[in-house]
Each structure stands twice: as structure tokens, then as C-alpha cells.
Amino acid sequence: MKHIFKFFALLLILSGNIEAQNPQHEGSDFSYFLADVSYMSDAIFMGRKDSVRAPYVYSSLGYYDKSGFFGNFSASYLVSSEDERFDLFLLSAGYIYSRNDLSVGLSGTKYFFDDESYNVQSEIEAGITGLLAYDFDILEFTLSASGYFSDNDSPDVAVNFMADRSFFALENNLMITPTFILAAGTQYFYEEYYNSSRLGNRKGSGNGQGQGGNNIMQSPMTNVSISEASEFNILNIEAKLPLMYFYKSFIFSFTPIISFPQTPASIITDDAVYKEDLESIFYWSAGISYWLKTGK
């Protein structure tokens, strides 16, 4: 029943966009705390990112009850060469039920971004994610649906399809999980972000520009819209290779990720219409986790 803990991590990743890791274990008859310190080389969301790299060191503490309920708090510290600050705090909670090879879950997340944040998610205030997964032995399939809410009257809807398979080595202490993810959704979050953080509207001192090096505009804008914002399109295809090594109560993780953004945005400004130039993205994460069993 190791997959139960993978789904705790998946719920946190999908709702909070963080790389949480969870201990490998054969059962779910106990509760535990999980503490984690990790590094993420850039902030990527649905294949979108800022032109300025946003690497994070983040720490999290979560409680996972044997009943299926869980809660998690994390703090992300921006460590770019231009800015250093606590850029994001997250609160997540939810429930997951697993029986045999089937798992279903629901989680909610509250985002607290710094006012100067240029994380591409920075206009999102809260999110909710539902998940359905089934392990077919050869491959494990997961389907999730999320809603993301901001000041915009129109929330974003996102759907993720994931296929993965775990392999074990070094006396089952090393878990290798090749993973494929297809993400689709609307882009209101991206439109709001362009209005607040790109095209010269940067809230801080840096100058934003379109992904892939589009130098669209450097002067302040008053109106920016994305013609595809309300359309439900494939936004990202992603492949990752999580490596997790378990030693007693410690988990050492490293995950290389390559992202292939889809459906370039048509960005409409006061002066013209620009087509976004999307490029593939390589980024990675690494971390150390410690889990503490609280009882049977």
C-alpha cells in the first residue's frame, strides 16, 4: 500500500505546487509528522514561468492521520541573485481514501504571496483539488481536477492526467518513479499575472517580459488581456524522474523535470497583439525529509 503515501504527496503538489515527499511504508495503520527542507530551481506552473528565474528554498511541516485527513504548512524563501525574501506561505488540508488499488482525495490550499512576488502563481489566492487514482500494476494512472481562485471573477479550471510506475533498487531503499503529466486548463491566472507583473507592470523593481524571451513591452501598461484566457486548452506536457532514497526515518530526494509548454498565449496590449514564444523548460528539485511516527 505504498501508493497511499504517494497520493498524499501528489495532492500537495497539485494543490500547492510544491515538491512534497512522503515516507515509503507498507500500511496506513499509524499517523505521522513529516518535515521537509527542499530546493526548487525555478517556479513553474502549468508550463508557465517568469522571464526572471525564481529559485526557492522551502520548508514544510505536515501531519498525516491514519484516518486519511492531513494538513501541511510550508514557507518558501526566494534565493535569486536579485531578490531574497520569504515569497510564499502555504496552508493545505484535505482527505484521501485508499482501498486496494483505488484512491480518491480532496484538498484545499490557501496561498500567501509577498506583494512583490513574480512567481507566476502570485495572483492565485486559493485552490481546491479533487483526485482519482488507480494502480494497474503495469502503470498507475491519476486524474485530478483543480479550481484556482483570485481577485478575478472568473476562477481557473485545470485538469491533470498523470501516468507513473515505481521501480525499486538497493534493497528497496531507492524508489525511482518515471512520471508523465498532461495538463490542461484556462489561463485567467496568466492574464492577471501579466497585468500585475509583466510588460513593465512589475510590482517591484525588476522588468518582466514574456516567457521564452519575448521582449514585448517595457513601459507600464494599463490593459493587458489574453485571448485564450477563457478557453480550455492543453497547457503543458511534462516528464519527471523522482528519485527517493529511504534511510531509517530520512528521505533524500532528487527530481529532474522537463516541461514542454503548449498553446502559446495571444497577448493583447493597448498597442498591438503579440504571440507568446514558448520554449521547453528544464528545472529540478532536491530535498531532505524526516518523518516521525506518532503511534498506531
Sequence spans of domains, the chain: 3-295
User: Residue 30's pLDDT is what?
Assistant: 79
Span 128-146, average pLDDT: 92
In this structure, how many other beta carbons lie within 10 angstroms of the beta carbon of residue 27?
10
Is pLDDT at 20 greater than 60 in this prediction?
no
In this predicted model, what pLDDT tens digit does every residue of 201-232 receive, in sequence order?
A: 454 444 444 454 444 444 455 578 898 899 99
pLDDT band at 178 (very low <50, low <70, confident <90, very high): very high
pLDDT of residue 148: 95
Q: Closest by alpha carbon to 1, among 73, 89, 97?
A: 97
Higher-confidence position of 28 and 50: 50
- The pLDDT value given to residue 25: 40
Residue 211 has what pLDDT?
Answer: 55
* Model confidence, pTM: 0.86
- The pLDDT-based confidence of 155 (bands split at 50, 70, 90) is very high
CA distance linking residue 19 with residue 254, whole number of Å: 10
Which CATH architecture does the domain made up of 3-295 adopt? Beta Barrel (2.40)
Handedness of CA 86, 193, 156, 10 (dihedral sign): negative
Write down the pLDDT at residue 219: 46
Q: Residue 45 pLDDT > 50, yes or no?
A: yes
Question: Which residue from 4, 40, 5 is spatially nearest to 240, judged by alpha carbons?
Answer: 40
